[in-house]
Structure formats: C-alpha cells, structure tokens
C-alpha cells in the first residue's frame, strides 16, 4: 500500500473487528460474579496486557522482516534444529485448521442467532452469510478495511439506542462489590479472549505501510474501542437482567423486550462478520505465503471448508471448535513472548516504550497469560 493513503481509522477498525465477536455476550455472566472491584481490575488488566502483547507482535514483524507472517517469525526464532521444517509445517496445519474452525463457528453462530428472526431455513442463512463475508475477503485487504470501517461504525451507532432502552429498564439484580478469585480469573480470561486481535497485526502493518506511530495508535484505539463496547454490553446486561445468562442477550432481552433482542442479535452478527473478514483474510495470506499459490486458490482452501463443516458437523461440535480456536490463540500468545525476547535481543524497539519492553513487563504479560489459561477452564 506504499504511496497510498494510510487510514488510521481503517486500521483501528480492523483491530476492533478482528477481536470483537460473540464472546462479548459471554463477558457479563462472569463479570457479575467477580463483583465491581474484580470487574474493574479484570477489564483494566486485560486492556494493558492485550496492548503490550499486540505491540510485541508488531515489534517482531517489523524487526524480523518476516513477511508480516507470525508463523514465519516463529520459524525464524523458535523452531530450531532438524525438526524445524516439521514444526513449521505442523504448526501451519494446526493454525489453518484453527482459523477454518473459527470461520465455521461464525457461520453456525449466525444461523443460531437469526433463527426465528428471519423467515429463512438454517442452510440458506449459512450460505448467505458465507457468500457475503467470503466476497469481502476475496476482494482483498483494502475492501476488508473499508468493510470493517463501515460495520464497526454501524455497531457503535447500534449500541446507542440499545443503551438508552436499557437505562429505562434498570431492574436487574446488579452485582456485589467483591467476588471470588475464581470468578475474577474466569471473567478476566473471557475479556482477554474477546480483546485478542493477533491476526489483525500483520494487516494493520500493511494498511499503515510500516508507520510505527500509526500502528501504535491503531492498537491502542482498536483494542480500546472493543473494550468500551464490551463494558457497555456488560453494564447494560447486568443492570437490566433479572438473571444474567451465559449468553447475555437472552436474559437481557427477556428483561427489556424485543427491541434489544433484535438490536443485540444484529450487533452480534455484525461482530461475527467483522471477525470473519479479518480471520478469513489472515487464513488466505497464511496459505498464500506457505504454498506460493495465487490468491484465489488460497481463498478457496482457506474459506470453503468452513462452510462445508457447518453442514457435516452439529452446532455443539462447532462450539468445541471455537473453544479450540481460542486455545490456539492463547498458545500463540504464549509463543509470542519468547519470540519477542529472542528477536529484540540487542535491538531498539520501534513500537513499545522502554518500560513496555522491560523484563518486568515481559514477565507480567507471561504471568497474566497463565492466569488467562487457568481462568479459561473455570465454569459455573
């Protein structure tokens, strides 16, 4: 994109769109149990840790000259010795499967959410959602960026009437001041999953043409916008719902009425679309870089299996695949930390400040990802 306008807003929306998904509706259930103090700490900690981690990824990609490819960075700095080709190929296959599984989960999730809201068979909804989303991916990163801008902006606008209606129905059970450590860990883990935009970083580097200042700003703003929307959803669901359900829109809509069910459903479908675009493009690029094939066959390899999976596997299985995709994202996050240390040894950072790149910060991010892993297995 050299020589073309570098859109900070587009890059910001790509970060937000990649990270925000249906997981935003799972946050209120856990956060309510964590209490007000626990919730504030969880949101603040998740934002700080996410910012540092995503800037670490940007540093590695900018410094390592790895084709803006996370797997290539791992191959260069982590995978060593005779097993290097095996590890690279094996991890590539795992990543593609995880990304395709995520795409399948978005398709199935959209069909479930729209069931009863649109007069179309489940199979038709799946195909229409795939066609709309895949067409954007097929047209490339510039179209993905434009679509993310429009849709993320629409999601922000959509939240306004939803918040107003919710404020008028403040009859929820609320939340206590404090909660258990297990609730805090589970809530923190869910927020971290919802703020994860790992695969958006190579995309914003290309959109912003290696402009380090704008890359830093887009990470702050993109994850920050996701955080604000997540907080808004959590506050509205908790202050209105007589019972905060695991999928917040259910209890929220029961308390407030049909308008919130419609607005909330559209919001989540938009979130799934933006995630599909960013994840789908990331999968295409990963296949292209590894196979050296033209873009169209890479697009087919990366996206078509996701639609097929939704017809051959039940929704419960696609939910498990979504969990697996989250687990892969967590593993990648943990792998990023040693990769960052090895890549930046003796080099000056371009994105992170000295404090952000310090031993203390690196150790803190690693420890908080371990907490995220622990919290992800806690259920109520």
Mean of the pLDDT values across residues 337-342? 89
91-126 pLDDT, tens digit per residue, is 888 888 888 888 888 888 888 888 777 788 888 999
| 3-class DSSP assignment, residue 115 | strand
The answer to which of 177-186, 208-217, 314-323, 367-376 has the lowest mean pLDDT is 314-323
Q: Distances in Å between the alpha carbon of 371 and those of 26, 86, 191? A: 18, 30, 12
Task: Give the DSSP H/E element, type plus range, for residue 339.
Answer: helix 315-343
The share of the chain scoring above pLDDT 90, in percent, equals 29
Helices (H), 201-314: 201-207, 212-240, 248-256, 258-291, 295-312
pTM attached to this predicted model? 0.88
- Phi (first) and psi of residue 263, to 5 degrees: -60, -45
- Of the ranges 115-119, 124-128, 236-240, 244-248, which is most confident? 124-128
Q: How many domains does the chain have?
A: 1
Question: Residue 197 pairs with which residues in a beta bridge?
Answer: none
The answer to which of 2-11, 145-154, 173-182, 292-301 has the lowest mean pLDDT is 2-11
148 within domain boundaries: yes
pLDDT at res. 213: 92
Q: Is pLDDT above 80 for 3?
A: no
Expressed as residue numbers, the domain containing 293 is 8-375
Q: Which residue has the tokens 């905060």?
A: 244
Q: Is pLDDT above 60 for 352?
A: yes
284 within domain boundaries: yes
**What is the separation of C-alpha 43 from the centre of its chain, rounded to a whole number of angstroms?**
15
The answer to which of 49-58, 132-141, 189-198, 261-270 has the lowest mean pLDDT is 261-270
Specify whether the CB–CB gap between 1 and 161 falls below 8 A: no
380 within domain boundaries: no
180 within domain boundaries: yes
50 within domain boundaries: yes
Q: 234 versus 81: which is more confidently predicted?
A: 234
139 within domain boundaries: yes
Q: Is pLDDT above 60 for 318?
A: no
CA nearest neighbour of 187 among 148, 143, 231: 231
Q: 329 versus 377: which is more confidently predicted?
A: 377
CA nearest neighbour of 29 among 241, 181, 322: 241
CA nearest neighbour of 270 among 7, 80, 24: 24
We report the CATH number of the domain holding residue 278 as: 1.20.1740.10
Q: Give the model's confidence band at 1: pLDDT under 50 very low, under 70 low, under 90 confident, else very high.
A: very low
DSSP code for 349? -
162-171 pLDDT, tens digit per residue, is 888 888 877 7
Token pair for residue 48?
A: 């700080």
194-218 pLDDT, tens digit per residue, is 898 888 999 999 899 889 999 999 9
pLDDT at res. 66: 62
1 within domain boundaries: no
Q: 309 versus 54: which is more confidently predicted?
A: 54
pLDDT at res. 2: 41
pLDDT at res. 221: 95
pLDDT at res. 22: 62
Long-range contacts of 302-308 (CB under 8 A, 24+ apart): 302/96, 302/99, 302/100, 303/100, 303/103, 303/130, 303/134, 303/137, 305/100, 305/104, 306/100, 306/101, 306/103, 306/104, 306/106, 306/107, 306/130, 307/104, 307/107, 307/126, 307/127, 307/130
Q: Give the model's confidence band at 252: pLDDT under 50 very low, under 70 low, under 90 confident, else very high.
A: confident
Q: Is pLDDT above 90 for 220?
A: yes
273 within domain boundaries: yes
């Amino acid at each position: 994109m050299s020589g073309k306008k570098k859109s900070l807003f587009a890059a910001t929306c790509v970060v937000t769109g990649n990270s925000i998904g249906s997981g935003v509706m799972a946050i209120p259930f856990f956060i309510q149990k964590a209490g007000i103090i626990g919730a504030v700490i969880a949101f603040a900690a998740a934002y700080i840790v996410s910012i540092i981690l995503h800037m670490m990824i940007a540093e590695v990609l900018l410094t390592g000259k790895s084709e803006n490819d996370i797997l290539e960075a791992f191959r260069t700095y982590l995978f060593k010795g005779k097993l290097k080709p095996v590890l690279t190929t094996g991890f590539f296959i795992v990543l593609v499967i995880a990304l395709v599984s995520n795409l399948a989960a978005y398709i199935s999730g959209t069909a479930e959410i729209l069931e009863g809201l649109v007069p179309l068979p489940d199979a038709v909804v799946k195909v229409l959602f795939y066609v709309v989303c895949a067409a954007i991916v097929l047209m490339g990163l510039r179209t993905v960026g434009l679509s993310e801008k429009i849709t993320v902006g629409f999601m922000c606008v959509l939240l306004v009437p939803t918040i107003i209606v919710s404020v008028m129905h403040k009859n929820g059970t609320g939340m206590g001041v404090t909660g258990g450590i297990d609730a805090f860990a589970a809530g923190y883990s869910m927020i971290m999953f919802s703020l994860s935009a790992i695969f958006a970083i190579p995309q914003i580097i290309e959109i912003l043409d290696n402009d380090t200042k704008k890359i830093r700003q887009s990470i702050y703003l993109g994850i920050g916008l996701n955080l604000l929307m997540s907080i808004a959803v959590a506050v509205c669901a908790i202050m209105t719902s007589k019972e905060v359900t695991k999928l917040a829109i259910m209890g929220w809509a029961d308390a407030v009425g049909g308008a919130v069910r419609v607005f909330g459903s559209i919001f989540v479908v938009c979130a799934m679309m933006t995630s599909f675009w960013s994840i789908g493009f990331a999968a295409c690029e990963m296949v292209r870089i590894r196979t050296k094939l033209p873009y169209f066959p890479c697009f087919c390899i990366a996206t078509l299996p996701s639609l097929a999976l939704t017809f051959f596997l039940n929704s419960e299985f696609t939910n498990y695949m979504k969990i697996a995709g989250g687990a892969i994202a967590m593993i990648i996050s943990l792998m990023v930390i040693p990769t960052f240390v090895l890549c930046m040894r003796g080099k000056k950072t371009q994105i992170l400040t000295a404090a952000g790149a310090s031993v203390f910060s690196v150790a803190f991010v690693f420890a908080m990802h371990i907490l995220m892993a622990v919290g992800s297995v806690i259920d109520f």
